[in-house]
């Protein structure tokens, strides 16, 4: 089969009753399908195949059905994505007739893998194509990432030192941050001291 469109993530609103959800794209292996339940408090829980959900057989061009063992509750959202492993499992024989069905299936799986990577990049922090900064955009090691992210004078990511007094603190380079709590969630707002 051809894959003319990327297998877009599927989103379903919970209603306390519905437990079967239509998968509209082909999956070559059940393990390629990832189900994530977003709770009412915006927490995300990855569901476990054959424990939290089951799938109809893989390989159907029209997709299949995902069955949740516990229906998502009202206010919850089930998001289903196609995330194939980065492996190549097709072995083609030497000589003889070309196994075109196997070749096409391998190319389809590569197209799905490319779509998975594109989806990840679409959600990543990137710089504009015309940005002239060619330095390292690598984050510091985990021990040095404590605090919050800012960018240095070259535009490279760095971690700002967090202050602890009175809800404000120094972020380096003359910048300050203000701690703001909205609905129980704490936000740190970075500013340069001007109003």
Task: Verify that 24 and 81 share a domain, yes or no.
Answer: yes
Residue 55 falls inside a structural domain: yes
For residue 103, give both structure tokens.
Answer: 């070749």
For residue 28, give both structure tokens.
Answer: 């070559």
pLDDT for 89-114, tens place per residue?
777 788 888 888 887 877 777 877 87
Residue 129 falls inside a structural domain: no
Q: Looking at per-residue confidence, does 55 or 172 come out higher?
A: 55
- Examine the pLDDT at 124 and tell me if it is beyond 50: yes
Domain, as residue range, for 164: 142-191
Task: Verify that 17 and 101 share a domain, yes or no.
Answer: yes
Task: Verify that 96 and 27 share a domain, yes or no.
Answer: yes
Sign of CA dihedral 153, 157, 158, 160: positive
How many structural domains does the chain have?
A: 2
Question: For residue 195, what pLDDT band results from cuts at 50, 70 and 90?
Answer: very low
Question: Count of CB atoms within 10 A of residue 12's CB?
Answer: 17
Residue 99 falls inside a structural domain: yes
* Range scoring the smallest mean pLDDT among 57-61, 94-98, 165-169: 165-169
């Amino acid at each position: 089969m051809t894959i003319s469109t990327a297998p877009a993530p599927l989103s379903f609103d919970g209603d306390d009753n519905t437990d079967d959800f239509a998968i509209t794209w082909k999956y070559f292996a059940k393990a390629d399908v990832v189900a994530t339940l977003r709770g009412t408090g915006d927490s995300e829980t990855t569901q476990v195949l054959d424990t939290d959900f089951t799938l109809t057989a893989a390989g159907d061009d029209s997709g299949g059905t995902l069955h949740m063992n516990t229906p998502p509750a009202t206010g919850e959202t089930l998001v289903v994505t196609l995330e194939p492993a980065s492996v190549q499992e097709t072995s083609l024989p030497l000589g003889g007739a070309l196994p075109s069905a196997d070749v096409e299936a391998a190319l389809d799986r590569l197209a799905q893998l490319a779509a998975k990577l594109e989806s990840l990049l679409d959600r990543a922090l990137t710089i504009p194509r015309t940005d002239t900064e060619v330095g390292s955009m690598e984050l510091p090691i985990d021990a040095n990432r404590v605090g919050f992210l800012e960018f240095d004078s070259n535009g490279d990511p760095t971690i700002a030192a967090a202050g602890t007094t009175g809800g404000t603190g120094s972020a380096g380079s003359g910048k300050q941050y203000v701690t703001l709590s909205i609905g129980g969630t704490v936000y740190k707002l970075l500013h340069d001291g001007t109003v």
